[in-house]
Amino acid sequence: MKNQTSAGKKVLGFLGSNSVPIMFIIIVAICIPLSGFSPVFLINEIITRMGRNIFLILSLLIPIMAGMGLNFGMTLGAMAGEIALIFVSDWQIWGIPGVVLACIMSIPISVLLGWMCGKILNASKGREMVTSYIISYFTNGLYQLLVLYIMGAIIPIIHNSIKLPRGYGVRQTVGLLTMRQSLDNALAIRVAGVKIPVLTFLIIALMCLLIVWFRRTKLGQDMRAVGQDMEVARDAGINVERTRIISIIISTVLAGFGMIIYLQNMGDMATYSAHSQIGMFCIAALLVGGASVDRASIGNVFLGVVLFHLMFILAPKAGGVITGDEMIGEYFRVFVSYGVITVALVMYETKKRRAKAGMAAQLEAAQREEEQQ
Amino acid sequence: MSDISNNAATTPLERIQSAFRSFGLPRLIIAGMLLVLLIAAPFVGANFWMQITNVLNRFTWNGVLVLAMVPMVHSGCGLNFGLPLGIISGLLGATLSLELGFTGAASFLMAILLSTPFALVLGAGYGWLLNKIKGGEMMIATYVGFSSVSFMCMMWLLLPYHKADMVWGYAGKGLRTTISLEGYYDKILANFLQIRLGDLVIPTGAILFFALLAFLMWAFLHTKTGTAMTAVGSNPVFARAAGINVDKIRLLSVVMSTWLGAIGILVYEQGFGFIQLYMAPFNMALPAVSAILIGGASVNKATITNVVIGTILFQGIVTMTPTVMNNMIHMDISEVLRMVVSNGMILYALTRKTEVTR
């Protein structure tokens, strides 16, 4: 009898802590037959999107480890990657060398932006997420100033295919045809009509190993300590501010690489809008995979990408079948992305409050005991 | 403490310095920028009085939306990034008023009346949620706003609206992205008692409407409930000890903010002349937030003066820069400037060492 109830509790606990992924599995299971897509098409799409997005989402893991929440400032890294890509495509460096050069060039820009972001976040402890979210808007303004007015006017841009006809500023879209899927096509294999971009997956696997290794280093341990409790970490002799800045810098640099991988797969770049939604989609995907604001694993990243992007592919078609209007499906997937983030944030905050209240109650009880003695 | 020492040694220079410090450097820069723009306007060939008219108009469009920030800041709920929720209530009221066949001034009054129940219900739900997550209000408010806007995107398509000048022509259903208010409440406040002095046009009615709401807000903040609200915002522990029901006061402030957001968008629409649906409310919170911050408010302190000064400064910059810059250097960097200034201002406020209430 006792065993049964505890087993029941375990099942309930499992369902409770994984409610978001389970809900998505149900949504996807309903949508697949409705949409009428063939399995080969779906698998192909998912594999492409995995290669495209996973690296970007991996960049979110380290700030979560350092207790800084979801890094909405990953957009900064995306912008750094885009700036590097504009230069590389202007210098006409093609294929894999172009991608590698763009990655190298994005590093100093990412480090600078990440350092700035980390500094600001240190001045606003306790509201890192809303601040990093505003930082992404603020930096978007600086990015536009650079790309729209300074590039071509002060920083030389050679080719007219990139420069606006007015003589300065960068065009709405920058074609990356010369680099298009250069990573994905190298070493690609086809299995039963499904293309697998082996090199991209190798890079992702390497990154996952690096993250696992990083967790065990001194710096990684420090970050975990800072994430648990800043004051305790400070007493233990950890430089909290420096550790937090480093975690944001790493995240920004990785996001820069991720954006370059993302854009080489897409094959062209919307100069002024490619980065604007990327933070939201990556964060939503991570949360769909079962992560929360203070806990995320590599497994969450993979599960999240598969489920979130399946929903993304299926929603317009399924929405069209159900309501007769594909726009409904389009709006539905946007709604779900925002809704998932909202629910995750609410769950995190209520949990934090409950923990705090529990601690206060414990303290009170201890004090009462002391008084009685 | 430093204030007292400053008062003790009152050399005029020190007094000016402390006044500057309390005004804040970013505010000073923005005020200076607006001053430069105003002085430069006639020299670069822009009509000075027309510019003033534009700024006045923009002030009346946005004033109430900025005023909607005040109650939540007072009760310690932080900046109302969830303003889109109030805007949605306003949009529901506006579209219903048009659908039911009201025209002219009646349509404006009906829009206010019809949006009120939505604002009360949505505001109450929103306030209940914010009471559950004290300390994390601003981030969650942002995403409540976003989710509700994207949810309503579906609803605007699905709800059974039928009025011919509101729905898509070929399908006969689903609301249009922009609906013209000509014949309804276009400029209904602005044209009321309008004063024309050459190029200067003063939208008296709209200014009076804003003044009325601002006065009511001021009066409310001086009632017993209003003082309780301020107490909750400045020190919730003390407020609870004094026997104030903190959660109830916070809920009331959120409902008030939401309702003012609904009225605010209706006033905005009467000035602008169009109802904007779908993704339009999405980014309307940020300008209002930065306007009140530019006016001198902080995350937990805001006055009516902050609203008035902030709206004038922010809208002044937004309306003046395109014309002046265009005439001066033939380059329109106003949009970029607006993004940097407004978000920079929010960042500045978020990094101040003001403790958020728990």
Residue B7 above 70 pLDDT?
no
Q: What is the 3-state secondary structure (H, E, C) of B215-233?
A: HHHHHHHCCHHHHHHHHHH
Instruction: Look at A138 and B144 and tell me if their CB atoms are within 8 Å.
Output: no
Q: Out of A131, A334, A349, whose CB is closest to B347? A: A131
Instruction: Look at A338 and B158 and tell me if their CB atoms are within 8 Å.
Output: no
Percent residues over pLDDT 90 in chain B: 20
Of A183 and B90, more confident: B90
- Tally the C-alpha atoms within 13 A of residue A161's C-alpha that lie toward its C-beta: 12
The pLDDT, as a whole number, for residue A301 is 93
CATH of the domain at A133: 1.10.3470
Contacting residues of B for A350, CB less than 8 Å apart: 132-133
- Residue B168: helix, strand or coil by DSSP? coil
Give me the mean pLDDT over the B256-274 stretch.
91
Instruction: Look at B339 and A331 and tell me if their CB atoms are within 8 Å.
Output: no
Residue A372: pLDDT band (50, 70, 90) is confident
Q: Does B336 touch chain A (CB under 8 A)?
A: yes
Contacts of A117 (CB under 8 A, 6+ apart): A73, A76, A132, A135, A139, A248, A252
Q: Does B81 touch chain A (CB under 8 A)?
A: yes
Contacting residues of B for A130, CB less than 8 Å apart: 81, 138-139, 142, 350
Q: Out of A327, A339, A356, whose CB is closest to B147? A: A339
Q: Out of A124, A332, A349, whose CB is closest to B136? A: A349
What sign does the dihedral A128-A130-A133-A139 (CA atoms) show? Answer: negative
Give me the mean pLDDT over the A135-145 stretch.
92
The answer to the question of residue A250 being in a domain is yes
Least reliable range by pLDDT among A132-136, A184-188, B124-128: A184-188
Residue A195 phi/psi, 5° resolution? -90, 125
Taking CA atoms, what residue in A is nearest to B334? A145
Residue A191 above 90 pLDDT?
no
**Token reading at A63:** 């700030």
Asked if B86 contacts B259 with a C-beta cutoff of 8 angstroms, the reply is yes
Contacting residues of A for B240, CB less than 8 Å apart: none
pLDDT in tens, A93-106: 888 898 999 999 99
Contacting residues of B for A341, CB less than 8 Å apart: 143, 146
Residue B293 above 70 pLDDT?
yes
Q: Does B237 touch chain A (CB under 8 A)?
A: no
Contacting residues of B for A123, CB less than 8 Å apart: 351, 353
> Quick count: other Cβ atoms within 10 Å of Cβ B258?
31
Instruction: Look at A353 and B356 and tell me if their CB atoms are within 8 Å.
Output: no
Contacting residues of B for A352, CB less than 8 Å apart: 135-136
Give me the mean pLDDT over the B293-318 stretch.
85
Contacting residues of A for B335, CB less than 8 Å apart: 144
Q: Does A318 touch chain B (CB under 8 A)?
A: no
| Average model confidence (pLDDT) across chain A | 87
Instruction: Look at A353 and B135 and tell me if their CB atoms are within 8 Å.
Output: yes
pLDDT in tens, B184-233: 888 888 888 888 887 888 888 889 999 999 999 999 989 988 888 888 88
The pLDDT, as a whole number, for residue B23 is 67
The pLDDT, as a whole number, for residue A282 is 92
Query: Per mean pLDDT, which of A9-18, A115-124, B272-281, B292-301 is the most reliable?
Result: A115-124
Q: Which helix (H) or strand (E) holds B171?
A: none
- Residue B301: helix, strand or coil by DSSP? strand
Mutate to test the interface with A, among B143, B155, B326 (most CBs of A within 10 A): B143
**Rounded-to-integer distance, Cα A255 and Cα A55, Å:** 8
Instruction: Look at B150 and A149 and tell me if their CB atoms are within 8 Å.
Output: no
Of A346 and B259, more confident: B259
The answer to the question of residue A123 being in a domain is yes
| Average model confidence (pLDDT) across chain B | 83
Of B215 and A169, more confident: B215
Give me the mean pLDDT over the A243-266 stretch.
93
Point out which residues pair with A136 in neighbouring strands.
none
Calculate how close chain B gets to A150, using CA atoms only, in Å.
11
Q: Out of B132, B138, B340, whose CB is closest to A127? A: B138
Residue A116: pLDDT band (50, 70, 90) is very high
Q: Out of A126, A142, A352, whose CB is closest to B356? A: A126
Residue A2 above 60 pLDDT?
no
Q: Out of A141, A142, A334, whose CB is closest to B150? A: A334
Calculate how close chain B gets to A37, using CA atoms only, in Å.
24
Of B267 and B195, more confident: B267
Query: Per mean pLDDT, which of A189-193, A332-336, B107-111 is the most reliable?
Result: B107-111
Beta strands in chain B (DSSP E): 178-180, 195-197, 200-202, 274-276
Residue B8 above 50 pLDDT?
no
C-alpha closest to that of A288 among A302, A277, A304: A304
> Quick count: other Cβ atoms within 10 Å of Cβ B26?
16
Q: What is the 3-state secondary structure (H, E, C) of chain A?
A: CHHHHHHHHHHHHHHHHCHHHHHHHHHHHHHHHHHCCCHHHHHHHHHHHHHHHHHHHHCCHHHHHCCCCCCCCHHHHHHHHHHHHHHHHHCCCCHHHHHHHHHHHHHHHHHHHHHHHHHHHHHCCCCHHHHHHHHHHHHHHHHHHHHHHHECCCECCCCCCCECCCCCCECCEEECHHHCCHHHHCCCEEECCEEECHHHHHHHHHHHHHHHHHHHCHHHHHHHHHHHCHHHHHHCCCCHHHHHHHHHHHHHHHHHHHHHHHHHHHCEEECCCCCCCHHHHHHHHHHHCCCECCECCHHHHHHHHHHHHHHHHHHHHHHHHHHCCHHHHHHHHHHHHHHHHHHHHHHHHHHHHHHHHHHHHHHHHHHHHHHHC
Mutate to test the interface with A, among B77, B130, B139 (most CBs of A within 10 A): B139
Instruction: Look at A328 and B158 and tell me if their CB atoms are within 8 Å.
Output: yes
- Long-range contacts, stretch B54-59, CB < 8 angstroms, 24+ apart: B54/B319, B54/B320, B55/B312, B55/B315, B55/B316, B55/B319, B55/B320, B56/B201, B56/B202, B56/B203, B56/B207, B57/B190, B57/B203, B57/B206, B57/B271, B58/B315, B58/B318, B58/B319, B59/B207, B59/B210, B59/B311, B59/B312, B59/B315
C-alpha closest to that of B357 among A123, A126, A352: A126
The pLDDT, as a whole number, for residue A202 is 92
Pairing of strands B274-276, A194-196: unpaired
Instruction: Look at B146 and A332 and tell me if their CB atoms are within 8 Å.
Output: no
Residue A162: pLDDT band (50, 70, 90) is confident
- Tally the C-alpha atoms within 13 A of residue A33's C-alpha that lie toward its C-beta: 3
Contacting residues of B for A338, CB less than 8 Å apart: 143, 146-147, 150
Residue B3 above 60 pLDDT?
no
- Residue B333: helix, strand or coil by DSSP? coil
Residue B88 above 90 pLDDT?
yes
Asked if A247 contacts A224 with a C-beta cutoff of 8 angstroms, the reply is no
ipTM: 0.81
**Token reading at B163:** 């009025």
Q: Out of A134, A345, A350, whose CB is closest to B350? A: A134
The pLDDT, as a whole number, for residue B33 is 82
The answer to the question of residue A82 being in a domain is yes
- Total domains in chain A come to 1
Of B129 and B136, more confident: B129
Q: Does B330 touch chain A (CB under 8 A)?
A: no
C-alpha closest to that of B63 among B356, B315, B241: B315
Q: Does A131 touch chain B (CB under 8 A)?
A: yes
The answer to the question of residue A326 being in a domain is no
Contacts of B238 (CB under 8 A, 6+ apart): B231
The answer to the question of residue A78 being in a domain is yes
Of A261 and B48, more confident: A261
pLDDT in tens, A222-250: 999 998 888 899 998 899 999 999 999 99
The pLDDT, as a whole number, for residue B22 is 65
Q: Out of A323, A338, A345, whose CB is closest to B150? A: A338
Residue B173 above 90 pLDDT?
no
- Residue B178: helix, strand or coil by DSSP? strand
**Token reading at B112:** 């206010």
Residue A344 above 60 pLDDT?
yes
**Rounded-to-integer distance, Cα A149 and Cα A70, Å:** 32
Q: Out of B138, B340, B358, whose CB is closest to A141? A: B340
Least reliable range by pLDDT among A310-319, A343-352, B325-334: B325-334
Q: Which domain holds residue A157?
A: 37-295
Contacts of B256 (CB under 8 A, 6+ apart): B71, B123
The pLDDT, as a whole number, for residue A319 is 79
Give me the mean pLDDT over the B127-142 stretch.
86
Q: Does A338 touch chain B (CB under 8 A)?
A: yes
Contacting residues of A for B337, CB less than 8 Å apart: 141
Least reliable range by pLDDT among A3-7, A301-305, A362-366: A3-7
Q: Does A138 touch chain B (CB under 8 A)?
A: yes
**Rounded-to-integer distance, Cα B338 and Cα B344, Å:** 10
Give me the mean pLDDT over the A199-207 stretch.
92
Q: Out of B129, B138, B343, whose CB is closest to A137? A: B343
Residue B357: pLDDT band (50, 70, 90) is very low
Of A265 and A193, more confident: A265
Residue A1 above 70 pLDDT?
no
The pLDDT, as a whole number, for residue B355 is 45
Residue B354 above 60 pLDDT?
no
The pLDDT, as a whole number, for residue B5 is 43
Q: Does B222 touch chain A (CB under 8 A)?
A: no
Of A87 and A4, more confident: A87
Point out which residues pair with A295 in neighbouring strands.
A292
Residue A4: pLDDT band (50, 70, 90) is low
